[in-house]
Structure 1
């Protein structure tokens, strides 16, 4: 089966690299990219054919839509005439519903909505997918296979996608924000910046690995680090007094609400 990737930005290239590393031959992958210099770069790096959007859709069995939300309508209008019933379109644009995509394509086209995140760039992404009204199990399995090339995949009801966007879609930014804050705190406490960075990054990697490999609830792992009257307890008490937990809830609610606004067509 031929796969077309429409949009060759960071996420599009991450999918391209993952799909090829997963064993699919470059001859079965098309990339649509309008910038000549970028097209030449992708051809040289991956050996794929770079074509126009409409031609890619005409030749593909599965089409990955990896463009910004505000560009999706224009892209779908451009390729609609080349689409055909039975094709699978996988949208990775935040806030774009399956109904939005289906309304701009011929009847019978299968659509899957996906919320990925940027760790896909290093093969550790988290993607949540939801089927459209014409999507069968075969389509979902095909989408899962492609997405697993960049990390893990779960299926969710489409009504949960705004919450997914808030938790995992935007989630890496929250982690980077915390890491940045911890590094700055380490420098403030007298550590060299490179030392503080190494300490914080490896602590994050180790903590995440413990969560994945032990399967323990984070509260259990936290309690094991927190001795009564100790340094960790003092730090956590300060975080609780600062309402950090409540602020995280409010932040994720704001992200969810913004995703809802994008879904309703609000560009602001």
Structure 2
């Protein structure tokens, strides 16, 4: 589906995630003149959008169009106030998309009434067009709505749909929080290189490029991660020795299971 169907689009919250999504949409052909940015500040990060024809207002109540799509990209603690402001501006065909963590469909419906609502869990690689977004909609969202949200989120990475909203908490634990796990791996890999005697700058460079390169290989290869790992591992070689530690008792698998479980549990707590 063409992104033209998303216009007029109202983006509430032009922070890092909101701006990353908007950059992707504009790159994929969404007309800037059809975009209204709702943000209390008018910082430098908005200047380019305004120069290209987008409109800026400080509050949702100042929006002068009936939007085809409203994107809610605000912090969860701001959501109740934002919903009260947004509700009067949308029409019967408006699609509401929330990327706010921890705000359930039920909470969104309570604030917006009988609206078509999609809840999306994106992640920060959307900033470079490599995001992973998982979507779940209420029963007001039809096939056209799903197709439009898929088109929007595919502009910043890959998109998947689930039917059970309860799975969003596990999604948060894997892909929502997951980039931090990868960044931590690069961080501790560099520290391990320094401990092995490498100069600081070289250790950091080796760790960064190893994570970047392995990720790109994983993205482009038709092979699954286990096979790619095995292809690097010679019997009784150096990688084999390292994996005996990482895959041993108390190694990466149980640690990652605990980490994802902790993030999943916290996501449920935040959702109330």
1:114·1:127 contact (CA, 8 Å) conserved in 2? yes
> Any conservation in 2 of the 1:66–1:92 contact (CA below 8 Å)?
yes
Superposition map of 1:95-174 within 5 A = 95-107=102-114, 109-157=115-163, 158-174=165-181
1:3 aligns with 2:9: yes
User: Which secondary structure does the structure 2 equivalent of 1:59 belong to?
Assistant: coil
User: Does residue 61 of structure 1 match 2:71?
Assistant: no
For 1:200 and 1:221, the matched residues in 2 are separated by 18
Pairwise CA RMSD:
1.8
In the TM superposition, residue 82 of structure 1 has moved relative to its aligned partner by 2.3
Q: Aligned ranges for residues 177-192 of structure 1 at < 5 Å?
A: 177-192=184-199
Assess, with a 3 A threshold, how the Cα gap between structure 1 residues 168 and 57 changes in structure 2: closer, same or farther. Answer: farther
| 1:189-235 alpha-carbon deviations (Å, 9 max, x no partner) | 22222222222222222222222222222112112212222111111
Q: Distance in 2 between matches of 1:41 and 1:49?
A: 10
Hey, which bits of structure 1, 4+ residues long, moved more than 6 A?
none
Match of 1:249 among 227, 236, 257: 257
1:161-240 mapped onto 2 (5 Å cutoff): 161-239=168-246, 240=248
| 3-state SS of 1:85 partner | coil
Q: Following TM superposition, by how much is the alpha carbon of 1:38 offset from its aligned partner in structure 2, in angstroms?
A: 5.0
Query: What is the CA–CA distance in structure 2 between the aligned matches of 1:232 and 1:45, rounded to whole Å?
Result: 52
Residue 55 of structure 1, CA deviation = 3.2
The reply to whether residue 36 of structure 1 matches residue 48 of structure 2 is no
- In the TM superposition, residue 58 of structure 1 has moved relative to its aligned partner by 4.8
Gaps in structure 2 of 5+ consecutive residues: 1-6
- 1:262 paired with 2:267, answer no
Q: For residues 172 and 64 of structure 2, what CA distance do their matches in structure 1 show?
A: 27
Q: Give the TM-score normalised by the residue count of structure 1.
A: 0.92
The alpha-carbon distance between structure 1 residues 80 and 248, as it changes in their structure 2 partners (threshold 3 A), is same
Deviates more, 1:57-66 or 1:150-159: 57-66
8 Å Cα contact 2:67/2:91 also seen in 1: no
What is the CA–CA distance in structure 2 between the aligned matches of 1:42 and 1:11, rounded to whole Å? 16
Unaligned runs of 5+ in 1: none
Farther off after superposition, 62-71 or 235-244: 235-244
Change (3 A) 1:57 1:263: farther
